[in-house]
Amino acid sequence: MQSANKRTITVFGTKRNETPFVLMTFRKLPYVLRFVAWRKRQMNTLKAQRRETTEKAKRLRREGYVTGNLFGRQIEGSILLKIEKKEAERIMRECMKGSQIMLEVEGKEYDVLIKEMDYDAMTRSILEMDFQELVKGEKVHSVAEIVLHNKDKVIEGALEQLLEEVAYKATPEHLVDKIDVDCSTLHLGDTITVGDLAIAKNKDVDVVTHLDSVVVTVLAPNNADIPSDEDAEETAE
């Protein structure tokens, strides 16, 4: 006999007996998911203000602003921007050049690509951010940052990164802001090229960087030569 405090529900194709509390939680799941999506959208939304042409960049930076520009096919000319530095630094903790974010300019939202970022050479603080408005179905030029993982697992030779980003074209829904590369299986003499990366095999992305470009390689330490097969044979003799 089924308990009066339980009901049978179907979860992912399986019938289960659940208490009223679990039933209530399950029913609220769509609201929770919507809240998570809203929260993520808030985290990836950058607020900016229009900047007048009379407002000089140097003065604004002294006052705690980052300057910027918004441009796009549907925008006549470009929109000059000023962004509170702490707001720019917040978004940069989660995003990077090539990231897709929402840009809110005095109440109006734009779906944009972070196109360029300029930093102070001495302090490495952000000075300028440029954005391109995205249009559904229209391919844009962008770059994806290459991020190396497990570099400490390479015990043979010295790991050298020769390429820091990959240029490509894609529609907004297929944009990529970073490429993760696992270095844990690399050995002396191994090389990874752009053609070896997942982005090069993505049919929805047109890679612009030459596929033969070397991303990372493992060199012999202290400029020592990597033994060839002939050297190995001579040593054996």
The residues with which 147 forms a beta bridge, in sequence order, are 180
**pLDDT at position 152, please?**
93
pTM over 0.75: no
Q: Where are the domains of the chain?
A: 42-134, 141-223
**pLDDT at position 44, please?**
84
* 42-134 against 141-223: fold identical: no
pLDDT in tens, 19-69: 555 555 555 555 444 433 334 444 589 999 999 999 999 999 999 999 999
**pLDDT at position 28, please?**
57
CATH topology of domain 141-223: RNA Polymerase Alpha Subunit; Chain A, domain 2 (2.170.120)
pLDDT in tens, 74-112: 898 899 999 999 999 999 888 999 999 999 998 999 999
**pLDDT at position 39, please?**
40
**pLDDT at position 12, please?**
47
**pLDDT at position 18, please?**
53
**pLDDT at position 87, please?**
94
pLDDT in tens, 151-191: 999 988 999 999 999 999 999 999 999 999 999 999 999 99
**pLDDT at position 175, please?**
96
Q: What is the largest CA-CA distance in the chain?
A: 85
- 17: pLDDT strictly greater than 60: no
> What six digits make up the tokens of 66?
């980052």
Q: Is 90 exposed, middle or buried (0-12, 13-18, 19+ CB in 10 A)?
A: middle
- 72: pLDDT strictly greater than 50: yes
Task: Work out the number of other CB atoms within 10 angstroms of the CB of residue 92.
Answer: 17
pLDDT tier, 221 (very low <50, low <70, confident <90, very high otherwise): confident
**pLDDT at position 77, please?**
87
What is the second-level CATH architecture of the domain 42-134?
Beta Barrel (2.40)
